Structure 1
Amino acid sequence: MMHYNFSSTRLTGSMLLLILSFGMWVPGLYGQVGSDFVLRASGADVDYAAANPTSYGMSTVVSVHQATGVIAQAQGYSLGVGNDSTLLMPIIATNLLVPPGGHGVDFDQIAILPEGVTEGVVLSFPGLYTISFETETDLLGIEYQLMDGPLTGATTTTSTSLDFVDTLGSPPVDISIVIEGASYPPSLASGAVTLTPHDGAPLIRGDASQDGTLDLADGVGILQYLFIGAAADCLDALDANDSGNVSITDAIRVLCALYCSGSPPPESPFPGCGFDSTADSLGCLSYPACP
């Protein structure tokens, strides 16, 4: 089977119908209406360093589900997912559809624009196979980078959304599911996105040595800071119990997490990287183990 990716061509709904009209047509429509299908973009909650938002990103998955009606066999689809270009920039888009029998698709065109992403897919030009969406089916994955501008130096959470739009591209790409040569506009569910700024760097709590792991050196590092004045540029990491200050209790918390059966680990963020959401005076200027 030959596959096509026409990078210089914008796929509209009428073009998709024209392409499919050359394939195998099976008589008898299913009686679908567009609202039988729900096209959905997943949302995201993103924490980022207010001083450097472009170092952070997020992703969404576009999926489709036929929620009602007689299960139909789709020949293809086209869609557009818009974003606020002052907040998010799409950088990577990947087709996630797995057709039946392990086939590839004959036509897959993805366009990445500052204000969104479009995709047009035809499963099989000669109509050799189709696909149904009776279960939630992933179609497209998109990765975004946060932008400078309104997010830089922000002190409050910003809310935005990933919306399905039919205004992207020139000519614009329609939003439709194609069944037996007929185009059906699906119901649309936007993805809600929250972008929460933080002062300082992300960290792993309890990891005083900043090597990305919790071990004996971390308990010793906290004691060295307390009793011999060792330097520390991420005090939030030393505050293992998230009390808002660094004390011998934090060293004990780390050592017991390692060597005392049943003892709790350090508080969040642990064991992965994250931001300290507790208001205190400690701060974290630098933490190389977290991006």
Structure 2
Amino acid sequence: MARHVDAERRQTPSPFWPHRLLDQGKGVSVLCWLLLLCLSNGSIEAQVAAGGIDGPVIELGDAIILPGEDHALVPVYITSDEDVLSWQMGLEYDELVLAFDGIEYTGTVSENLDPITITSPNFPPFFGLQVIYAGGLPLPAGSGVLAAYLKLSLIDGDLIPEGGSVATGVGGVSNEASPILITSIYGNNVIPVVIPGEIMLYNFPLYMIESRLGTALDTTLSLPIRVWTDAAATTFSMGLEYDEWILCEILIDGSDFDDATQGEWTLLEESTDSGIQLTLESTAGPLPSLSGAILGVLIIARPVSAPGSWNFQLTEGQSFIDQVPVENLIDASATWVNHFIRGDANLDAVIDISDAETIVAGCWQGIPFPCPDAADANDDGGLDISDVITVLQHLFSGSEPPPAPFPATGEDPTDDDLGCL
């Protein structure tokens, strides 16, 4: 059984001392931060407000460690109605299974904000952290802002049963060195609600379908099917369940499996009551161990009832590798959202004369619009000659571009009666 360590019981001296920050070349900004705290009325303890369900939140997302990998990156999302100068918390996790090695900012909102990270203790494994935005730019206010990734490493892969998986939690707690706290640029200190995350650790073998998100421009979505094995294998079989109204086909050509077998394979597709049974066999002989290789791609046609999300489930008891049951199955979803490009009336991802023609055909010839919201080029909530003029002026007169969403896909910021998918 997993053992959770209470980080509050660790009596570690606080690492937060000004000289440590000055050594990092951020002295002026950090001293300003300290001065801001000192000039605030009363002590920090007296100024702290408790966050509610609608107030500041630190949320730890979920993550996975795939077979053969040794670490997970747990996303940290922060919700605050004020720009954030610093945030901190202690960490609680099963130290028999994981070790917290540090924090990463690549791919997050914090990446270009020059944050300073202070960990507790000074060397791994860590049990607390503080992040200070001392470079002049705070973490912006917002809901679910991706602030960082926590890197947690797997200590002993033998703890994961062969062919199985283990779930373990990671949460935020207050301890002496790192109380849970968010400090805004105005010096307001708030104890946020902390939502814990979960890490799934997988052993070989594993099947996984990758989820995909599409917009109004996407008539199909491609969902790769990946496999992890630790021994040579010839036959890969899986049961797949999905909504009966979904049009789905499997494409093997061009996949990793196709390349590895040099095109020497067979595919058997059998319909079932809830989906399909796929059996893919290498006629070129056994393939060596595979680490995330793509067996094939599911091509999903956009349903007429879009937008929405449709699930694709791998069936337990019907998924095998060389007759050995596969219990590690990661399902997927294909999701379409009402995102479009303003003025792209025919949804070909380019604004040109054909979009003006599409608007004319829809307004005066009764041809249905593929996305009325996209045809509303001037975003006035109606479809008429003014939208044609907006497109033509943008193309040939150098006038202002259409309103958002433009030039990239996005949702309609205007509340009107027009829809898309």
Change (3 A) 1:216 1:73: closer
Match of residue 40 from structure 1: 59
Q: 2:35 aligned to 4, 22, 43, which one?
A: 22
Verify the 8 A CA contact 1:110 1:119 in the aligned structure 2: yes
Match of residue 11 from structure 1: 16
Match of residue 122 from structure 1: 132
SS at match of 2:159: coil
Change (3 A) 1:58 1:240: farther
Q: CA offset at residue 184 of structure 1?
A: 1.1
SS at match of 2:130: strand
Q: CA offset at residue 143 of structure 1?
A: 2.6
State percent identity of aligned pairs: 13
Match of residue 214 from structure 1: 258
Match of residue 232 from structure 1: none
Q: 1:178 aligned to 168, 183, 204, which one?
A: 183
Verify the 8 A CA contact 2:40 2:187 in the aligned structure 1: no
Change (3 A) 1:143 1:129: closer
Task: Give the distance between the partners of 2:157 and 2:259, measured in 1 at CA.
Answer: 40
Match of residue 113 from structure 1: 124
Match of residue 403 from structure 2: none
CA RMSD in angstroms comes to: 4.9
Asked if 1:89 corresponds to 2:99, the answer is: yes
Map 1:97-246 onto structure 2 (within 5 A).
Answer: 98=109, 103-105=113-115, 107-111=116-120, 113-114=124-125, 116-124=126-134, 130-148=138-156, 151-167=159-175, 171-179=176-184, 180-199=186-205, 200-201=229-230, 212=256, 214-215=258-259, 217-220=261-264, 246=281
> Computing the radius of gyration over CA atoms, which structure comes out larger, 1 or 2?
2
Verify the 8 A CA contact 2:15 2:119 in the aligned structure 1: no
Greater share of residues in strand: 2
TM-score by length of 1: 0.55
Verify the 8 A CA contact 2:75 2:150 in the aligned structure 1: yes
Task: Give the distance between the partners of 1:94 and 1:118, measured in 2 at CA.
Answer: 14
Q: CA offset at residue 166 of structure 1?
A: 2.3
Task: Give the distance between the partners of 1:58 and 1:239, measured in 2 at CA.
Answer: 34
Q: How many residues align?
A: 218
Task: Give the distance between the partners of 1:93 and 1:131, measured in 2 at CA.
Answer: 16
SS at match of 2:146: strand
Verify the 8 A CA contact 1:244 1:282 in the aligned structure 2: no
Change (3 A) 1:75 1:239: same
SS at match of 2:263: helix
Q: CA offset at residue 92 of structure 1?
A: 4.4
**Can you give the 5+ residue segments of structure 2 that lack an aligned partner in the other structure?**
1-12, 22-29, 42-46, 206-228, 237-254, 270-276, 286-292, 298-315, 325-421
SS at match of 1:20: helix
Task: Give the distance between the partners of 1:152 and 1:99, measured in 2 at CA.
Answer: 34
SS at match of 1:279: strand
Task: Give the distance between the partners of 2:234 and 2:196, measured in 1 at CA.
Answer: 33
Task: Give the distance between the partners of 1:158 and 1:166, measured in 2 at CA.
Answer: 26
Task: Give the distance between the partners of 2:91 and 2:33, measured in 1 at CA.
Answer: 23
Change (3 A) 1:193 1:130: closer
